[in-house]
Structure 1
Amino acid sequence: MRRALALIACCAVVLTAAPARASSPAFVSSPALGSSPPFVKEATASGSGGAVSTVDADATRAALDILRQGGNAVDAAVAAAATLGVTEPFSCGIGGGGFMVIYRAKDRKVTTIDSRETAPAAMRPDSFLSNGAPLAFADARYSGLSAGVPGTVRGWAKALREYGTMPLGRVLVPGIATAAGGFTVDQTFADQTAPNVPWFDDITSTRALYLDADGTPRDVGSRLRNPDLARTYATLAVFGAESFYRGPIADAMVAAATAPPLAPDADHVWRPGLIATSDLRGYQAVERAPTRIGFRGLDIYSMGPPSSGGSTVGGILNTVEALGQPASREELLHRFIEASRYAYADRNAYLGDPSYVDVPLTGLLSQGYADTRAALIGPTAAASPVPPGDPYPFEGRTAPGPAATAETAAPPLSSTTHLTVSDKWGNVVAYTFTIESTGGNGIVVPGYGFLLNNELTDFNFDSLTHPNRVEPGKRPRSSISPTIVLRDGKPALALGSPGGATIITTVAQILLDRYVLGTPLPDAVAAPRLSQRNTASTQVEAAVLTSPEAAALQARGQRLTAGAEIGAATAIEFGRNGRVTAVAEPVRRGGGSAAVVRR
């Protein structure tokens, strides 16, 4: 209680020490905030007492500090997430949503929290159509129309209430400090800003926060402070999560989405959104059962619908397992590509919000169904798009109708972030959250310092009949795949990744490398990646084309097309006697940050 009162007193000083702006509590930085010593970033760390892996050193330090103060994995995960909302604002933040998988050591229970965004009540299946034709992706994205009702704050509050030990206000302190004190702009941040410049320049609040006076990205090495976001976090710290969903913050979100704050020289059309204050008041984060498959003596838990992550990762693993132990890495990669091809056909046909769609999840996760998909895989590549299968008999029923037509065009890749945390008691969190595309919908909420999401472009907005079509109140299908692996009821591995639709293949590839080939986890995370999503060509990182397996895969008819880096995974592996190894990307997205409480 004394600690809670001290926190409230600290935030009260923060909220009243500077002049107030319209309907917004004021904030000034305190010398006590942001004064921690520099944190050394490394990709792999081993030790005990808990571990953290994120894409950012500030976020990892925030989580580690909470663990050292006696917080558990859930407390630390929220602290890291709030800090990432400052330092990785183009990938995540309180203007978006996500999915959290939690392992609770005391009862060996795995559960999940769904804080996915929802479509406003006024949204309709044809909302993204213009003159009967679907909007171009950029026209749909950079608009108020693409913004779903944010779920992140309610997700944090639910996770802390049900499974944490600290109040929201306490775990927000590192995020407040980082927003007030600022962070150093690196090359990755500048590179993420650059493609957004033409649209960021249209929005007065976004331009002021993320562009220099000459309209270019913030200089690498400069200090970026976000006092508006510090104020917003301080408001949540004192008044709780509810203050995000009603009152001045909610009103400002609605205003920003329905009437984007355009600069006089804006040179794009920004369509108004449909979010209403009633949508925000009514939003709820939902606790859901995880997906589960058995794989080589392990239990693999992940996220169920409305995410397609757990079912599709599970389908890939089950299909590869049905084919037996591969003779070589090249053979495993061929099987992985083909299993992904068929699993994505099923994902595209059947997955959607379970409150709106009859998802045959039991069938999709069954080994019997995977055996039928494995029977289609031969020594050479299939021609995509392959059709979906029929999983309904594997849950004892007949298909209610024909499967949806498989998608043939890969949607634009989106960004996200993932963090993995464990504590000294054995609790584990794998958490992926997002604002969808890098930079979300491009609209910073004026006075509050956070970007809105463009999650509604995750709907199949070119279809009025697809299971993932736009509907009021619906959660768009996701690919997010936070995953926890248990051996004999105890954690063996936890992992996840950003990367839009490539999240699924990133998680599956790491698991196959680790458990089929026995690749050490740091090497499995660093390995060059492939992503086949039922398209004619498999997207690969450039290093795949120079690998020993490339020629053999191409000889099998696999078309490999090099593109951008795929994913940015974080993971924790659990050994004997409480030893843990935290692993982050060594290079991708500028390299991640892994740490342990004790070496």
Structure 2
Amino acid sequence: MHTRTGIQAVCAAGTAVLLAISPAPAGADERVTAPDRDAVAVGYGGAVSSVDPDATEAGMEILRSGGNAVDAAIATAAALGVTEPYSGGFGGGGYLVYYSAADGEIRTIDGRETAPAAMGEDAFLYEDGEPIPFGEAVTSGLGVGAPGAPATWEYAVKEWGRKPLTQVMRPAIRIAEEGFVVDATFQEQTAANQERFSAFPETVRLFLPDGRPPEPGTVLRNPDLAETYRAFAREGAGVLDGGIGADIAATAAEPPVDPDSTRNVRPGLLTAEDVAGYEVIERDPTHVTYRGLDVYGMAPSSSGGSTVGQALNIVQAAGERAPYSGDADTTAHHLMLEASKLAYADRNVYVGDPDHVDVPLDTLLSQEYANERACFVDTAAAQQAPVAPGDARGSDGCTAAAPPSDEGSEGPSTTHLVTADHQGNVVSYTFSIEQTGGSGITVPGRGFILNNELTDFEFEVTDSGVGAANLPGPGKRPRSSMAPTIVLKDGKPFLALGSPGGATIITTVLQLLVDRVDRGLTLPEAMAAPRLSQRNLPTTQAEPAFFGTEQEKELSALGHTFTETRVIGAATALEFLDDRRIQAVAEPHRRGGGHAAVLRPQR
């Protein structure tokens, strides 16, 4: 079991290799052993699961010191900002779902980034009304929203935590200062971004030592981020009202580009007032009842809770209406894929920032509407996607209300963590900077990359009006697919889960629930099973291990078609067992595998 973070593991191995920001790296030919990774841990007293051993250990350190699940979640998130900087961090945002053992209530934080006050509906269009190239929006200041992570971290710790922010941030500060061991995934992600990172001298200085991606087994330090974290630990989100916030805005407004670069990096609209004025929103969670379980998720501006919940309701309705007599596993996945098409069709048309558009959320989450949507599900044959959305405003799910629409261009690089403590509190937290590597633009002297989350907005509206719910607007939050989820059984925690993966987040969470609840797989089995992702597209994406299986043959016979994709999601989850035991589960292989830990392991 991994018990030492960052440079502590390095020193224990008897070697010290520093790929530092400054001075230049020394001993670059030496290698050290990366921390161990355990995909499953069972025990008592509390648990943490994330994609990274150092981050998981940061959360465990806080639990051991008497912190609760909220404190541990923020400590883990801050550490992921160091070790998984291309997936999430101080320059991004996300959504946190919290179960309070004291009163049995579910609470959520919408910490999604917001558009600048100067951003209009035409922000991503040329003067002639044509959308700018998506790649130019991704690597630009124009795609940068006001970060929500700092306010989320402060709000969660202040409202629900037990430890001061100064203590909660301590493990992440140490990892940033002393360093973490680079693994193959980090090197691969850096290499994939090398061309666009090279346009920004500060990003090169931080992530491309000697002008190339760091080698696995070397140690990367980030003292600039350590200083940013120290300031945040002292002042909270108030740091955004000072130099750090001003630097974020200035970097987005006028990205510091290498003079020799030929890349067209568009300036942004973010101001210091936009950054300093950011506020999180505590929203009511989404809620559906599935097979007697209470499934809670994140309401809009995320589409995660509504789409997962609606799909579960449709699966339930379709299965009751016309049970299929074939193989039970095939039936479960057939209904899941069919329900996913219908739920995504509605998501793409109706879901946006509820403070700016009217989202018919109650209808989308109602079992009655799902019963109507299920009229399109044939248990013996697949629908040909894309399918049309239902009339959610008229509460008629069996009537097509608009043409099928696009799923959008949500980036796949996000991260997720789950935590629990001995009191029974639980956190499921998904956060992101959008694309792998976000905007690619590092804030000079601050040690973190800025998000490009505003590219989740629709750039234009179709002739039939599709896309209007998710157009840019002043202070608006772009639609997300992040789906942190907590499931209660008889009023007590049963599962907590979530995943990265852009629009595939919803299907990953949906499949984990279907596999665990309907197919009866154990949580580790469900985590390891080959994944499918149907997002109202003509074909269903599937991981390589799915092909050649009996289920592929049976689903294909029902009319489903599949295209291969290397990996779908990188989930983490908890299951609450009998005798107050917790099973913490991380990916065994995807994205290099995650790390799960419990406070007192079961013998």
Q: How far did 1:53 drift?
A: 0.5
2:150–2:236 CA contact under 8 A, matched in 1: no
Over residues 287-329 of structure 1, what are the superposed CA-to-partner deviations in whole Å (9 max), with x where a residue is unaligned? Answer: 0100000111110000000000011001111111112266421
TM-score normalized by structure 2?
Answer: 0.90
C-alpha separation in 1, matches of 2:484 and 2:71: 17
TM-score normalized by structure 1?
Answer: 0.91
1:75–1:166 CA contact under 8 A, matched in 2: yes
Q: How far did 1:40 drift?
A: 3.5
C-alpha separation in 2, matches of 1:142 and 1:513: 38
2:437–2:449 CA contact under 8 A, matched in 1: yes
Q: Give the aligned partner of residue 209 of structure 1.
A: 206
Tell me whether 1:285 sits opposite 2:280 in the alignment.
Answer: yes
1:356 alignment partner AA: H
C-alpha separation in 2, matches of 1:574 and 1:260: 47
Cα pair distance change 1:156/1:544, threshold 3 Å: same
Tell me whether 1:454 sits opposite 2:456 in the alignment.
Answer: no
C-alpha separation in 2, matches of 1:564 and 1:409: 20
Equivalent of residue 592 in structure 2, options 583, 590, 595? 590
Over residues 569-598 of structure 1, what are the superposed CA-to-partner deviations in whole Å (9 max), with x where a residue is unaligned? Answer: 100000122111000000001000000000
C-alpha separation in 2, matches of 1:508 and 1:409: 17
Aligned residue for 2:416, secondary structure, equals: strand
Q: How far did 1:242 drift?
A: 0.6
Q: How far did 1:405 drift?
A: 4.7
Equivalent of residue 66 in structure 2, options 60, 65, 70? 70
Give the total of aligned pairs: 559
Cα pair distance change 1:227/1:277, threshold 3 Å: same
Moved more, 541-550 or 41-50: 541-550
Q: Give the aligned partner of residue 526 of structure 1.
A: 528
Q: Give the aligned partner of residue 21 of structure 1.
A: none
Moved more, 69-78 or 409-418: 409-418
C-alpha separation in 1, matches of 2:284 and 2:226: 34
Q: Give the aligned partner of residue 195 of structure 2.
A: 198
Q: Give the aligned partner of residue 485 of structure 2.
A: 483
Equivalent of residue 469 in structure 2, options 467, 470, 492? 467
Q: Give the aligned partner of residue 270 of structure 2.
A: 275
Q: How far did 1:412 drift?
A: 5.6
Q: Give the aligned partner of residue 574 of structure 1.
A: 576
Moved more, 131-140 or 152-161: 131-140
Q: How far did 1:391 drift?
A: 2.4
Identity %: 53
Q: Give the aligned partner of residue 335 of structure 1.
A: 335
Q: Give the aligned partner of residue 253 of structure 1.
A: 248
Over residues 395-429 of structure 1, what are the superposed CA-to-partner deviations in whole Å (9 max), with x where a residue is unaligned? Answer: 9x9x9xx9565323652642100000000000000
Q: How far did 1:388 drift?
A: 0.3
Aligned residue for 2:448, secondary structure, equals: coil
Q: Moved runs in structure 1, 4+ residues, more than 3 A?
A: 37-40, 392-395, 402-406
1:330 alignment partner AA: T
1:350–1:404 CA contact under 8 A, matched in 2: no
Q: How far did 1:184 drift?
A: 1.1
C-alpha separation in 2, matches of 1:333 and 1:351: 25
Q: Give the aligned partner of residue 547 of structure 2.
A: 545
Q: Give the aligned partner of residue 354 of structure 1.
A: 354
1:308–1:478 CA contact under 8 A, matched in 2: yes
Aligned residue for 1:134, secondary structure, equals: coil
C-alpha separation in 2, matches of 1:111 and 1:405: 35
Q: Aligned ranges for residues 142-221 of structure 1 at < 5 Å?
A: 142-213=139-210, 215-221=211-217
C-alpha separation in 1, matches of 2:295 and 2:117: 36
Aligned residue for 2:96, secondary structure, equals: strand
1:350–1:403 CA contact under 8 A, matched in 2: no
C-alpha separation in 2, matches of 1:564 and 1:187: 16
Aligned residue for 2:469, secondary structure, equals: coil
Cα pair distance change 1:494/1:66, threshold 3 Å: same
Q: Aligned ranges for residues 56-455 of structure 1 at < 5 Å?
A: 56-130=52-126, 131-213=128-210, 215-243=211-239, 245-324=240-319, 327-378=327-378, 379-394=380-395, 405-408=403-406, 411=409, 413-455=411-453
Q: Give the aligned partner of residue 40 of structure 1.
A: 36
Q: How far did 1:394 drift?
A: 4.3
C-alpha separation in 1, matches of 2:200 and 2:276: 26
C-alpha separation in 2, matches of 1:236 and 1:393: 47
2:410–2:434 CA contact under 8 A, matched in 1: no
C-alpha separation in 1, matches of 2:411 and 2:382: 24
C-alpha separation in 2, matches of 1:410 and 1:119: 17
2:504 alignment partner AA: T
Q: How far did 1:171 drift?
A: 0.6
Over residues 119-174 of structure 1, what are the superposed CA-to-partner deviations in whole Å (9 max), with x where a residue is unaligned? Answer: 00011111111242111211111000000000001011111111111111111111
Q: How far did 1:551 drift?
A: 1.4
Cα pair distance change 1:405/1:276, threshold 3 Å: farther
C-alpha separation in 2, matches of 1:463 and 1:161: 41
1:249 alignment partner AA: I
Q: Give the aligned partner of residue 536 of structure 1.
A: 538
Q: How far did 1:196 drift?
A: 1.1
C-alpha separation in 1, matches of 2:585 and 2:494: 14
Gap runs ≥5 in structure 2: 1-21, 23-32
1:519 alignment partner AA: L
1:341 alignment partner AA: K
C-alpha separation in 2, matches of 1:38 and 1:527: 26
2:296–2:485 CA contact under 8 A, matched in 1: yes
1:281 alignment partner AA: A
C-alpha separation in 2, matches of 1:394 and 1:112: 27
Cα pair distance change 1:105/1:99, threshold 3 Å: same
C-alpha separation in 1, matches of 2:450 and 2:409: 20
1:75–1:160 CA contact under 8 A, matched in 2: yes
1:410–1:535 CA contact under 8 A, matched in 2: no
Q: How far did 1:279 drift?
A: 0.6
2:34–2:182 CA contact under 8 A, matched in 1: no
Aligned residue for 1:392, secondary structure, equals: coil
Cα pair distance change 1:417/1:286, threshold 3 Å: same
Aligned residue for 2:377, secondary structure, equals: coil
2:381 alignment partner AA: T
